[in-house]
Amino acid sequence: MEFIYLLDILGTFAFAISGALVASEQKFDLFGVVIIAFVTAVGGGMLRDILINAHPINWIGDLNYIYIIFAAVLATFLFKSKILPLYKTLFLFDTVGISVFTLLGLQKGLTFDLHPLVALIMGMFSAVFGGVLRDVLTNKVPLIFEKEIYASACLAGGVSYLILNYIEIPKDYNFIISASIIIIVRLIAVKFHLQLPKIKDDIFGNNE
């Protein structure tokens, strides 16, 4: 579990960096950058905990999340020009982060005796809604609604976790397999520019 916690912290750091960079590009002041980094990193988990009435809320119960967010903002403030070229590294951390956030959120939902479908949705919320809040607050169309297979990768890994859990695969193996599915789906989707279909025309209507 300590290794998973380390991945959780790395994912939080990557999410906070991405939020800080977006806020910086939007010319936010330092306070605004901290707020955007914060909601990007822990907003999804916070929303999940509020919806399932879990206390203490994620970052309130573990101050390491706050420390890592401040560290990410400081790193962005001091080394922005050095961080921007590290897109592939940050993307990898981000991808690992969403896989861990999804499964931790799903596990938490199950421990609260939620229906597996609801727990799956809570896992997805944990992973993607920080980015949704970031984009909304910076006046952008949320990434998951526009072009990339992001939330769908989380759902695929979450479904895998539920299936393997049902057939009683040991939890550690289940976590590794399901997280790997999220990472692989995300990497393949980005590499080959895969997207979900969009509703453009009425299939049975007049498309003149």
Euclidean distance between CA atoms 50 and 27, whole angstroms: 31
Higher confidence at residue 59 or residue 88?
59
Is residue 145 assigned to a domain? yes
What average pLDDT does the segment 167-193 reach?
A: 93
| Domain membership flag for residue 199 | no
Count: domains in the chain:
1
Residue with tokens 């706050």: 66
pLDDT at 206: 57
In a domain, 204, yes or no: no
Q: What pLDDT band is residue 71 in, cutting at 50, 70 and 90? A: very high
User: Between 208 and 11, whose confidence is greater?
Assistant: 11
The answer to the question of residue 205 being in a domain is no
Whether 36 is in a domain gets the answer: yes
Sign of CA dihedral 58, 113, 47, 21: positive
- Residue 12 in any domain: the answer is yes
Mean pLDDT, all residues of the chain: 90
The predicted model scores a pTM of 0.88
> Tokens 């010319």 — which residue?
27
CA distance 35 to 204: 46
User: Is the residue at 197 inside a domain?
Assistant: no
User: 133, 40 in Cβ contact below 8 A?
Assistant: yes
157: containing domain:
2-191
pLDDT digits (tens, 9 = 90+) for 37-67: 999 999 999 999 999 999 999 899 999 999 9
Q: Per the domain annotation, does 196 fall within a domain? A: no
pLDDT 10s digits, 132-166: 999 999 998 887 776 668 899 999 999 999 999 99
Q: What is the C-alpha to C-alpha distance for residues 208 and 37, in angstroms, rounded to an integer? A: 46
